[in-house]
Every structure is written in structure tokens, then in C-alpha cells.
Amino acid sequence: MKIAVVILNWNGEALLERFLPSVMEHSKGADIYVVDNASTDGSVDFLKQHYPSIGVVQNDVNGGFAKGYNDGLKHIEADLFCLLNSDVEVTENWLGPIIKAFDEIPEAAIIQPKILDLKQKDHFEYAGAAGGFIDMLGYPFCRGRIFQSIEKDEGQYDDIKEVFWATGACMFIKSEVFQSLNGFDEDYFAHQEEIDLCWRAKNAGHKVFYVGQSHVYHLGGSTLSNMNPKKTFLNFRNSLYSITKNLPRKKAWPIVLIRLLLDGIAALRFVFQFKFDHCFAILKAHLSFYANFSKMYKKREKANFLLKYYPVTSIVWSYFVHHIKNFNILVKD
């Protein structure tokens, strides 16, 4: 199995200098590439000078995470793509358990490792933790992370488990599956495009897995912090995109209406917290969703809809009303 570890970069020279050494040291047998999203810093010159063995693909524009990878991967040949954030520190033998899982689970199309926090290495990291799920209203959450509550890694997720979505911070995907799905949806630009990709993969009959025997450390927030208004805009809008595209019509419409109402409540919550820029970001997310609704609706034609994905009914109700912040307690509840 030919593996390509592909790092998307945009003005991240400092991150490349900090994190590439671990990738180079612990990725023997894999080809390593950096896809540069039209950086204006010294990223490309740094790579050519210090890492001449790394393949560099230079995109003409910064099309965000989605278009950046779509454009870059067209120039890379491999059986398996590992899409790796530029702020991830990999570990010894991180590739071995992933390759073994692909060999032993033929139906696996996408796999993610355990994602731990580089700043607090015995805790899971926000972006992906121990594998992602959604509730019946389309809200994403993870084993090891529900909203802002992060679990300590005590071996509770040292398993191999089918999940709903894998994080874009470190995602392994068969190249033939990526191509058959036409890659990421470029209308997302960034954030939750990996959830949409996994959702479409599952609708096409593929499976997504988490492999806890492999782990990496993610810095997180290198492009946008969790509380950046632009990230709020992208997350709220893109979640509505995914529901519209990937659920059966009879389920999508009531869920969209409920989500719009709950988004309004979230906006009011931001007002009471004096975070007016986040409230405005939700308003902009809704306006963008309305403006692009027809385009998203037309994309439904390519999906074969599944009817059930959810381990819980409402993560919002469980978390904010019942104060359940641990995945294992949530599922048992």
C-alpha cells in the first residue's frame, strides 16, 4: 500500500519548522508532501532549503482546506492519503496500526488515530479526539470531547471502533474513495468539510473507523481558534449545508427548522455573554445558507440517503440540561 502523508500549508513556515521533524522521523515508508496554498511567507523556500526530499505542490490560490486539498491531491499518486494538519506532532509507529486496520478491515475507507492535546498530553484534543459522531439534529461531537468539555486519556478509548466522522486534523482515506466522492465540498471553504465527506462516504456504503493504538498530538487553533467569530460563522453555516445535502428530505426539513431556532437561541446566549461578534457571525451564517440553499439542494441528487446514524437523540439537551460531559456516560444514559 503506497502511502502519501500530505500536509496543507498556508503561511505556516514556523509550524513546518516545528512539526516536520517528527513527521520525517516517524513516517518511514511513506512519501511526504506539502501542499502550499499560495503562501506569501517563506514556507516554500524553507522547504526547498531544509527538506528537499519532500514533495511540494504549489496551489495558485488559497482556496481554504477543501479546495486546497482537492487541488493538491490531483498531483499526488498513492493508494492511501493521510491528510495531516501542519500543527500535528506524530509519534513512533503511528502509521503501523492504521495500515494494519486497513489490511484487516476491507470495508474501512477512512480512519483516524487518537488525537491528543499537545499542550496537555494526557488529554484528548478538541479536533477529533477519539472519533466523531452526530446526534439526530446533526450536531457533531466526539468520544473524549463534547462541546468544550475534554476528557483525560485513561485508556478508555484504546480500541478500534466504527465512528461517524474522522477529523481532518489527521485523516487517512483511500485515494479511490476520495476521488469517487469528488473530494471535499469546496463551498465549505473550511470547517466541517470532513464531516460532510464522511457523511457522503457512509451514504455511499463506506465505513469510517477510529484506531486508538495510533496517536498523534495536535496543537490546535493555529489557523482559527475555537472562539474566533469566523469559525463560528463557518461551523454554523456548514452544519446546515450538511443536513440539507445528506439527509432524506422528510427528515432534513424539520431538522433544518429546529436548527435555525436553536441557532437563534445560541445567538441570544452570545448576546448575554457580550460576544456580539459571534451573534453577528450566526446571522451571517444563516444569510449565507439562504443564499446558497439552491446550490446545496441540487447536490442531494448525488446521495443515497441512510436513515440512522445517531448514538444519542440530542447532544445539546444531554450536555446543557443533564450536564453529561463524558461520552461513555452519555451513551449509557
Give the pLDDT of residue 313.
84
Give the pLDDT of residue 306.
65
pLDDT digits (tens, 9 = 90+) for 36-84: 999 999 999 999 999 999 999 999 999 999 999 999 999 999 999 999 9
Give the pLDDT of residue 225.
58
Q: Taking residues 145-171, what's their average pLDDT?
A: 97
Domains of the chain: 3-218 (3.90.550.10), 229-332 (no CATH)
Distance (Å, whole) CA 112 – CA 98 = 8
Q: Is the pLDDT of residue 21 over 70?
A: yes
pLDDT digits (tens, 9 = 90+) for 183-224: 999 999 989 999 999 999 998 999 999 999 999 999 987 555
Give the pLDDT of residue 160.
98
Q: Is the pLDDT of residue 135 over 90?
A: yes
Q: How confident is the model at residue 227 (pLDDT cuts 50, 70, 90)?
A: confident
Give the pLDDT of residue 332.
72
Is residue 110 within 8 Å of 117, Cβ to Cβ? no
∠247-84-58 over CA atoms, to 5°? 100
Higher per-residue pLDDT: 305 or 18:
18
